Amino acid sequence: MLKINEIFHSIQGESSYAGRPCIFIRLTYCNLRCSYCDTTDAFYEGNYFSIDDILKVIHSYQCKLVEITGGEPLLQSDVYPLMNRLCDEGYEVLLETNGSVDISNVDPRVKKIIDIKCPTSGMANKNLWENINHVKYDDEIKFVISNREDYDWMKDVILRYQISDRCKILTGPVYNVLNPAQLAEWILNDNLDVRMQLQLQKYIWSPETRGV
What does the DSSP assignment read for 119-183?
Answer: GGGT-GGG--GGGGGG--TT-EEEEEE-SHHHHHHHHHHHHHTTGGGTSEEEEEEPTTTS-HHHH
Looking at residue 176, its pLDDT comes to 87
What burial class does residue 156 get, using C-beta atoms within 10 Å of its C-beta: 0-12 exposed, 13-18 middle, 19+ buried? exposed
Least confident window among 29-38, 86-95, 174-183, 198-207: 198-207
41-65 pLDDT, tens per residue?
999 999 999 999 999 999 999 999 9
Looking at residue 200, its pLDDT comes to 81
Q: What is the mean pLDDT of residues 151-174?
A: 97
124-141 pLDDT, tens per residue?
999 999 999 999 999 999
